[in-house]
Structure 1
Amino acid sequence: MIPQWTLLLAAVAEVAEVAEKGKLFDFDATLPLMAIQFVILVGALNILFYKPLGKVLDDRDEYIRGGLGDAKARLAEAETLTKKYEAELAGTRRESQAVIATAKAEAQKIAAGQIAEIQQTAQVQREQAQAEIDKQKQSAFTALEPQVEALSRQILTKLLGAELVK
């Protein structure tokens, strides 16, 4: 039989050979060459891709900020105009309410004056009608008085006789 320690040495030697084949980097002349290639790639990407992309992003950011600033200015101006127009509208409403109140007061004065005039006219007509009625009543009494007197004499004559009534 083969001693165990020989098998162990053979396994270690095999592992060393496999590890030599699967190395990731060789620390010979290829490492600095790969580093130089990486730096050149980064520089080329920076010049060809990142700087133009960064410029486009910066321009876009500047455009957005300019638009926001302009929008804020317009919003402030719109708010100022809104407040101004609201104040003017409130003033106009107050003025219109004052005009309406004045018109109502004048209309009430005119209506009260017309009512008083109509009442006065009605009072004058009532007094004229009463005077006319009194006048007709007086003329009726005046016209009927001789007839009443004649009728009274006739009644007295019939009741008492002609000799007693004179």
Structure 2
Amino acid sequence: MTSWLLLAEAGAKEGGLFDLDATLPLMALQVVILTFILNSLFFRPVGKAVEDREGYIATSRAEAKQKLAQAERLEAELKEQLKEARQLSQKLILEAEQESDRLYREALAVATAESNASREQARREIDSQRTTALQQLSGDASQLATQIVDRLLSAS
């Protein structure tokens, strides 16, 4: 390589717009060597890093799409479960309302029956007491009538 430099210095002419001497092939060789050095030292590792990063991004996007699909599927399942739970709770509320209405009617029927029985018992007791009172009054009236007759007869 040093011989090329010596040739380039020895044969250099001064003067023209473009000097075509040994400098041109030497510069071309330097550019090629520099290109190989830069390619092996910088561009390949950077290219590899860029490719690795692109691969990472691609796998991350694929995983994100899978997770999104899974999340949407879970959301749909949870919405369905929520819908079923609401229907079940509405059904349970309706059954509870019907049961409480049935129990209310039964309690009302029992209370009405007890009330009617108590009223009938009270009516029978009143009828019994009235009959007893009428019999007593009838006995007192006949006794009073006998006394009146006896006094009227003894006064005459």
Shorter-normalised TM range: 0.7 to 0.9
Ranges in structure 2 where 5+ consecutive residues have no aligned partner: 1-13
CA distance in 1, matches of 2:30, 2:17: 17
Report the number of matched residues: 142
Equivalent residue number for residue 139 of structure 1: 132
CA distance in 2, matches of 1:85, 1:63: 32
Ranges in structure 1 where 5+ consecutive residues have no aligned partner: 1-19
TM-score (norm 2): 0.76
CA distance in 1, matches of 2:17, 2:140: 163
Deviation at 1:64, TM superposition (A): 1.3
Deviation at 1:137, TM superposition (A): 1.4
CA distance in 2, matches of 1:48, 1:147: 142
- CA RMSD between the two structures: 3.0
Identity %: 38
Equivalent residue number for residue 35 of structure 1: 28
CA distance in 2, matches of 1:24, 1:144: 164
**1:162 aligned to 2:152?**
yes
Deviation at 1:66, TM superposition (A): 0.5
- CA-to-partner distance for each residue in 1:87-141, whole Å, 9 max, x for gaps? 0221122123212212321221122022112201210110111111111012012
Match of 1:28, SS? coil
Alignment of 1:60-99 (within 5 A): 60-99=53-92
Equivalent residue number for residue 148 of structure 1: 141
Could you say which structure has the greater relative contact order, defined with CA pairs below 8 angstroms and 6 or more residues apart? 2
CA distance in 2, matches of 1:43, 1:26: 27
Look up the equivalent residue of 1:43 and give its one-letter code. Answer: F
Deviation at 1:153, TM superposition (A): 6.5
